[in-house]
Amino acid sequence: MHVLFIVNERAGNGKGKIVWNRLQRHLTIDYQVAMTQYEGHGQEIASQWAQNGRLKKLIIVVGGDGTVHEVVSGIVHNDFVVIGVISAGSGNDFARYFPTFQNATQIEAYLRTEMLERSIDIGKLQLGAMHHEIFVNNAGLGFDAYVTKHINKSRLKYYFNKIGLGKLSYAAAVVRGLFRFTCFDVTVYTNNQTHQFQNVWFVATSNQPYFGGGMKISPMSNALDGKIELTIVHNIARWKLLLVFATVFFEKHTKFQEITFLQSDQFEIVVHAKSVDCHTDGNYIGEIGQDTIVRCTIQQQAWKCIKLEKTKNVISQ
């Protein structure tokens, strides 16, 4: 099997480089490696390499959720490529649910044995008539995307990262956002029903349970079931929203009446606001305008992930 490592050295505030340096010292297999040089490069590398012949191939991503998102975007619906991941990001929600490699020994053992794989669903967001994006883990409209946008722009991120306190820039952006963010109204159409929500903080669309770096926001999500779950946080006081963020780590947030969960294989979400921020898998993708129709669908068994026999990850059980 041909093996390509796609490495984002910048992932996890430089963790990608450290993890790759350590990993490559222990690799004894034949492999190719490509370093991502800019945003979107992971998708370009993966799609070019995947076109190359009809032999089975393994791409191992060294990076975080954003890099996995790009690479899977590049190979979706390609039957010859299997994806493995070595986590080196900040949030690493992918690794909390899907099986991942931990070291070179495990990669080499995988290549020596049956090389099991599993076909996984992917979410798709169609934003208006033109733009569409996939999501491996989740996508979001509203507060979480707003926070992501401000972290990306923030000078604080640069300084905090320099002194190894990258997570503080996230906390600072959340607190700032709590006071500045403007809520919006949303209409959701699904299964011949219409749901109206006022004063919405965010709408998360999930293919797997984890979100935002370890929050199990959508406990019923399953990346094999052909369904997407929507989590809508609405009409909630600022202080109570903080409580939601605190309780979500213990799955107690499901008791709040201000959180609505919906499940289906397709949704139409219409945002009633001048502009609302969006992300897919934590990558900021821009703003949508007043009354844009966001169509969210699921494509079943759209890409292949490694299957490991002995792992604690949910999807392997």
| Positions in the binding site for ligand ATP (CB under 6 A) | 8, 10-12, 36-39, 41, 63-67, 70, 89-92, 282-283
Give 92 or 231: the residue with its C-beta nearer to ligand ATP.
Answer: 92
Q: State the number of CA atoms in the 13 A half-sphere of 141 facing the CB.
A: 32
Q: Is 112 helix (H, G, I), strand (E, B) or coil?
A: helix
Least distance between ligand ATP and beta carbon 284 (Å): 9
Least distance between ligand ATP and beta carbon 155 (Å): 16
Torsion from C-alpha of 288, 249, 315, 60, nearest 10 degrees: 70
Structure tokens at 275: 């502009």
**Chain position whose Cβ is nearest to ligand ATP:** 64
Structure tokens at 150: 């401000």
Burial 61-96 (b: 16+ CB within 10 A, else e): bbbbbbbbbbbbbbbbebeebbbbbbbbbbbbbbbb
Question: Of 139, 115, 120, whose CA–CA distance to 77 is shortest?
Answer: 120
Least distance between ligand ATP and beta carbon 115 (Å): 25
Least distance between ligand ATP and beta carbon 86 (Å): 11
Give 21 or 37: the residue with its C-beta nearer to ligand ATP.
Answer: 37
Least distance between ligand ATP and beta carbon 193 (Å): 34
Q: Is residue 16 within 8 Å of 8, Cβ to Cβ? A: yes
Give 166 or 177: the residue with its C-beta nearer to ligand ATP.
Answer: 166
Give 40 or 289: the residue with its C-beta nearer to ligand ATP.
Answer: 40
Give 76 or 269: the residue with its C-beta nearer to ligand ATP.
Answer: 76
**How many other CB atoms sit within 10 Å of the CB of residue 227?**
18
